[in-house]
Chains A and B, each alone.
Chain A
Amino acid sequence: MSNNIHLKKGLDIPMKGIAAQKVVKTVVPDTVALKPTDFKGLVPRLLVKEGDRVLAGSPVLADKQNPDILFTSPVSGTVAQVVRGDKRKLLAVLVKADAEQEYVDFGPKDPASLSGDDVRELLLKSGLWPSLIQRPYGVAANPELRPKAIFISSFSSAPLAADTDFTLGDKAQDIQAGILALGKLTDGGVHLCINEAVEAKTPFAKMDGAVIHPVSGPHPAGNVGVQISHIAPIMKGDTVWTVSPLLAAAIGHVVRTGKLDLRRKVAVTGPAAVEPAYVEALPGTPVAELTRVAEGVRVIGGDVLTGTVLGPEGYLGFFDDQLTLLREGTEREWFGWAKPFRPKVHSSSWCYFSWLTPKKQYDMDTNLHGGPRAFVETKCFEDVTPMDIFPIYLIKACLAGDIEKMEKFGIYEVLPEDLALCDYVDPSKNDIQAIIADGIDLMIKEMA
């Protein structure tokens, strides 16, 4: 049976600023931040105080509900500051890095000889457990469960996303070890989706211990949620886990060498990026050390559809291997909607003439290009959602907070990122991802 998945629906957003395939600098940060806000569904408890010494791999935070889930420092150094926000919400723990890095030694192991319990314990201790995302709802994995299967998408199809063949090409051994170790956590096996276009040369195609699924099509073909829905749709009562290839490599590394190494190649991208290329850095590195940020530019951790605003003062997130820099689009264009041609604005709709220049890359900004309205055109959602769900019905069920309908229309299968393109194409300018996120929060609350 062929495992290939061919998707037709979707949209590749033609944006300027793809990262050149070279590492322009290796950042050795002075201070890194550990941000509990990166993790959905976890409530942090502080394990250190200012002035404490930590090693790379020492626990800094634990989850309140499940104290076994630890968050560890990516560097060795001294806890410099605990940053709190409103109502004393814990925002970040800043660690001042040592000049010489020391690592906690978890002991090198052979992934094939480990049991499921060994793997679980190692991941919990090393702070890599939170890299496992549990679906439905996209929360941190519950260590007590055994998921139906584990899914890894080896590539991202999001706009300007980091090219995993470039960023992880030299980490094939780590990834292999990671896949073997993760396979111990489930009875359903590990499913690895690869980009069909590069099937012949990508190291991911040669991994053992995983079912390989070549995937082709426009974005969101690289989204693991979309892939799952074509491999084994998540129904009520199912639990599956996903992990990014970046963190699968980190998991493999800690298994093989016993050291926590979160160092990664980060793609600095976007129309407002001064020099779109890769930098090597740790999560928690200050944005200012990664790239220069001009006035009036939004810095996004992740891609332009699903990323979070970091701001020029922010820190790279735990999951991020991409920064996107975009101009804030506060300029007001005269007669924008009425002009026959708007060469600077991209539209996937044939009401404009972007289809005349299919190869053009656009210098996009954050302008909404319109005012919020009630839903009118809804076919556009289906055209960018290659899943067996009814997007508009799911969206309306979420708006209405109708649990039964949300279940029926596929809330278990989606995360906001899977419907991110709906945000982009909607002429009524609704924030679909926010609606879905609110719906998922309601599900978590009601089904708990």
Chain B
Amino acid sequence: MADQNKPGLFEKGGKLYWLHSTIDAFDTFLRVPGTVTSRGAHVRDGIDLKRVMIMVVIALVPAALFGMYNVGYQTALATGASWGFWKMFFYGLLKVLPLYIVSYIVGLAIEFADAQIKGEEVNEGYLVSGFLIPLIVPVDVPLWMLALAVAFAVIFGKCVFGGTGMNIWNPALLARAFLFFSYPSSMSGSEVWVHIPKNMTAVDSFTGATPLAIAHDGMGALSAQYSFMDLFYGLIPGSVGETCVIAILLGALILVWTGVASWKIMVSSVAGGLLVGWLGNLGGATELPALYQLVMGGFLFGTVFMATDPVTSAQTECGKWIYGFLVGALAVTVRLWNPGYAEGMMLAILLMNTFAPLIDHCVVSAKISARNKKVKTA
């Protein structure tokens, strides 16, 4: 398809030149470009960004599939309907699919237009952002809000900086932050996490609150509804993809194995979260053992898939330890000491995204001065 269009029409001077980035994107999506090396090494590794990005998407698939099932499961639970496994899954699929369609259509349209204006190739970064965004919003978010948020994130989070690789903040989280601050009523509280169809009503015992919100009322309130293992398995209300620890760990395994995401950031973030969770428990800020902080809300999802974004995280190896630790520590700090926000992960990551270059700067400066000293004494 793409090949027939190649000569003339889409080349410079051709009638449809204004579409060339788009055609090029589809063309190289289907076939590896025939470009050969011109400067530098004459052979190149088989890896390219498309492959890197698709690895992240694959790592996200377990969380996405489980999220779909959980959407159906929560609806069935809330309405008292007795659905089977497949019914729950397909119900969730039908609820989540529109989120995906909106996320990809709006995001990619802007990416393509941006590439076209700049005369560049379309970047594959949005493959991941577009897959992430539906997983970190409540299932009931109105589609027009999602579209606005995606547009905001792609334009102001990425395009204005020059595209993937130049952005400061994680675009997917920026979309969520936009929703969170612009439409708080659709992003928090107890009504948004579980979809109740119009023709059905919730059973009396249904609250819809996420474990994080319940946990504010103490350990007793939480354990009355959910055991630790419930939180671990993830059949709980929450953003679409964030609930199942097993699915997220599966994704983490893929990311660490392929080397796409840094295990250092994951480990240090968990360490930071546990430490602050433990201190908070010790100091009486919360009745919850530290381990609960890992399995509630978006902590683990953020740690594995969002804090590790190679563009917006720290780039030095030592900086990654610091960055990850602060992400985890800050997230739990916000949870424990700021009653206004039930979830601190999003803000923690965005804040640390902002400071990642500073961390790197300090690490690099320290290393250079240490090295200069060593050389002088040697």
Query: Separation in Å of the B256 CB from the closest CB of chain A?
Result: 10
By secondary structure, the B interface counts as loop
User: Using a CB-CB cutoff of 8 Å, which residues 339-378 of chain B contact chain A?
Assistant: 364, 367-368, 371, 375, 378
Query: Separation in Å of the B234 CB from the closest CB of chain A?
Result: 27
* Any A CB within 8 A of the CB of B269: no
* Any A CB within 8 A of the CB of B328: no
The contact of B258 among A305, A337, A350, by CB within 8 Å, is: A350
Query: Separation in Å of the A235 CB from the closest CB of chain B?
Result: 6
Please state if A304 and B40 are interface contacts (CB–CB under 8 Å): no
What string of 1s and 0s marks CB contacts (under 8 Å) between B52-67 and chain A?
Answer: 1011000000000000
The contact of A425 among B28, B45, B49, by CB within 8 Å, is: B45
* Any A CB within 8 A of the CB of B315: yes
* Any B CB within 8 A of the CB of A357: no
* Any A CB within 8 A of the CB of B43: yes
Number of interface residues of B (CB under 8 A): 51
Please state if B375 and A233 are interface contacts (CB–CB under 8 Å): yes
* Any A CB within 8 A of the CB of B42: yes
Contacts A373-B123, A434-B40 given; does A427 touch B47 at CB 8 Å: yes
Please state if B315 and A392 are interface contacts (CB–CB under 8 Å): yes
Contacts A298-B42, A420-B40, A431-B40 given; does A369 touch B31 at CB 8 Å: no
Number of interface residues of A (CB under 8 A): 73
In the complex, which residue of chain A has the Cβ closest to the Cβ of B50? A337
Please state if B41 and A305 are interface contacts (CB–CB under 8 Å): yes
* Any A CB within 8 A of the CB of B98: no
Binds A, one of B161-169, B225-233, B243-251, B283-291: B161-169
Please state if A350 and B42 are interface contacts (CB–CB under 8 Å): no
Residue with the highest number of chain B CB atoms closer than 10 Å, among A306, A351, A388, A428? A351
Contacts A338-B54, A425-B47 given; does A369 touch B32 at CB 8 Å: yes
In angstroms, Cα B33 to Cα A350, docked, is: 22
Inter-chain contacts of B368 with A (CB < 8 A): 408-409
Contacts A351-B55, A377-B310, A378-B310 given; does A13 touch B43 at CB 8 Å: yes
In the complex, which residue of chain B has the Cβ closest to the Cβ of A381? B315
Contacts A334-B30, A337-B54 given; does A365 touch B316 at CB 8 Å: no
In angstroms, Cα B46 to Cα A368, docked, is: 8
Inter-chain contacts of A427 with B (CB < 8 A): 45, 47-49, 51-52
In angstroms, Cα B46 to Cα A369, docked, is: 6
Please state if A351 and B260 are interface contacts (CB–CB under 8 Å): yes
Contacts A330-B34, A374-B162, A420-B40 given; does A369 touch B49 at CB 8 Å: no
Please state if B52 and A377 are interface contacts (CB–CB under 8 Å): yes
In the complex, which residue of chain B has the Cβ closest to the Cβ of A346? B46
Please state if A366 and B36 are interface contacts (CB–CB under 8 Å): yes
Please state if A349 and B47 are interface contacts (CB–CB under 8 Å): yes
Query: Separation in Å of the B222 CB from the closest CB of chain A?
Result: 39
In the complex, which residue of chain A has the Cβ closest to the Cβ of B376? A235
Query: Separation in Å of the B254 CB from the closest CB of chain A?
Result: 10
Inter-chain contacts of A372 with B (CB < 8 A): 121
The contact of A368 among B35, B54, B257, B316, by CB within 8 Å, is: B35
Query: Separation in Å of the B215 CB from the closest CB of chain A?
Result: 36
Inter-chain contacts of A432 with B (CB < 8 A): 40
Please state if A367 and B32 are interface contacts (CB–CB under 8 Å): yes
* Any B CB within 8 A of the CB of A352: yes
The contact of A304 among B31, B41, B165, by CB within 8 Å, is: B41
Please state if B45 and A346 are interface contacts (CB–CB under 8 Å): yes
Contacts A378-B310, A432-B40, A433-B39 given; does A350 touch B257 at CB 8 Å: yes
* Any A CB within 8 A of the CB of B170: no
Inter-chain contacts of B257 with A (CB < 8 A): 350
Query: Separation in Å of the B323 CB from the closest CB of chain A?
Result: 13
Please state if B47 and A335 are interface contacts (CB–CB under 8 Å): no
In the complex, which residue of chain B has the Cβ closest to the Cβ of A373? B49
Inter-chain contacts of B166 with A (CB < 8 A): 374
The contact of B33 among A332, A366, A416, A428, by CB within 8 Å, is: A332
Contacts A350-B257, A352-B47, A376-B49 given; does A333 touch B31 at CB 8 Å: yes
User: Using a CB-CB cutoff of 8 Å, which residues 356-386 of chain A contact chain B?
Assistant: 364-379, 382
Inter-chain contacts of A426 with B (CB < 8 A): 45
In angstroms, Cα B191 to Cα A34, docked, is: 81
The contact of A337 among B48, B260, B316, B378, by CB within 8 Å, is: B48
Given A347-B47, A369-B47, 7 extra CB contacts under 8 A: A336-B31, A349-B46, A374-B123, A376-B49, A378-B310, A392-B315, A421-B41
Q: Which 3 A-B pairs give the minimum distances between C-beta atoms?
A: A370-B48, A374-B165, A336-B32
Between A and B, 24 residue pairs with Cβ closer than 8 Å are A300-B42, A304-B41, A334-B31, A335-B31, A348-B45, A349-B52, A351-B259, A351-B260, A352-B46, A367-B37, A368-B33, A368-B35, A369-B32, A371-B35, A372-B121, A373-B121, A373-B165, A374-B163, A379-B259, A427-B51, A428-B49, A429-B44, A429-B48, A434-B39
